[in-house]
Structure 1
């Protein structure tokens, strides 16, 4: 393959990875999908590829749909242990962020809600809302009719209701929110933590060090407070399991304020705060190492400020 052909693909890599991530909710699977598309691009008779960008979009979309339909993926998601892989602010895989729809489409709330959709509904929603393809273009990519594309989008929008979360959080605002959360959580006073939460706040976690076989759900603010207080109470046993005493940093993850626990420059835990108005409506804790590979790479490659807590 000549240099120009490789360069043509590489010019599209970030966009294709962003598309695959939105469809799959996994950075690792998105990278694998884009690599599979590259192999297809290598093997294709490019004399018959009139618009490479459109051809590659179609290939990546359909490869991602094949993954979503696979028995292995269906089983993993059906057993109740799946959650999206978090991405640190500035990661190119987050993709376009010019519109509210584009920014909202990579929040963990929307990525999770997209699990309610069929693979085709998911693809139509992502192609239209995040990448602004016309229904005619979507129909061509998915080999469906324009009217079918419109119907799939209508159903997808109905299932993915507006989250109402604040998604225009800059690092300074995120740090203020996380500082308040950390201060309240570490104070030992549950009333201070309760006041930060909405009355219908809910939470989800994959357990300490990501070891839960099923996601742990917290349906009330009181349940969230209990879990957070337990998490902020260190012990020799916990530190031994974690491999040390992590530092706690403020960050922006998938467009939301987040708390990162880091140890030896590795991200060992992420707590994402979904904001509604001026309160926290959702708390999502992620600690499984398989979900933290890419966010650790990004963390190690950029400058970051002083920790909120030097040693947990």
Structure 2
């Protein structure tokens, strides 16, 4: 028994809906698969950079011998960061196995569904052609051809109906699996990320605690002790003492002249009548005469002691401070 026109129209609408649905799933799941694959590759690159960071820290600590506190802390930090990359490697492996691979399989599933859809379309197209021939034969009144075409049309209708039912069942199964797989895949993705970040948070907490033990004062004191050795302070003290002595030797003073020499160079004034006079106007005239005599004595001393400049300065100083006659 052949199908009615309404059934054929309904099946065509259904086939079109299935075709659009499969195309949408193929596009969306393909985009998800591509994005998550890129996410996994970038996570692997972060793992590689983390390993490189750990190696650089180890190399730094091996080359630096002036900061003992930094050396201890950075060495432990490098080992902890390396351990984090081990967990990141596990994250990459799980993403590839439980997220990327299931999504990539949907390309093959969509391909099989399209093949089944094509078979259904072929059966319906065959049924449509036989129906047209059957109608043409009936219009001509060729009973023999009508009888043969009617038998073929019934068989084609049965095949088309069976194909449509199989396609409907297969599409229902495809949609159900798609929903379950999408839920499972994204749940696995979130779970993998939660496990990694929970462990990474624990490890990074250890990194933070390690860095808090880094004693900056200890390291800077060690650096200063290497930059300024203990004997450098003594050398600086000796240099300052030598410089001070050199400056003092270039400044002559009375303290460098012996007392007996200072006394011998002082000119003696003769006292008149062996007495002491009053301080009045007559004494002022005598003082002027005495000053002239002192100047003459100074000129004689300059001629005799021209080579000894220090002694000459002493004589002049003492001559100006001569005792006042009473």
Instruction: State the TM-score, normalizing by the size of structure 2.
Output: 0.19
When Rg is computed on C-alpha atoms for both structures, the one with the higher figure is 2
Q: Which has the higher contact order (CA 8 A, sep 6+)?
A: 2
Instruction: State the TM-score, normalizing by the size of structure 1.
Output: 0.19
Higher strand share: 1
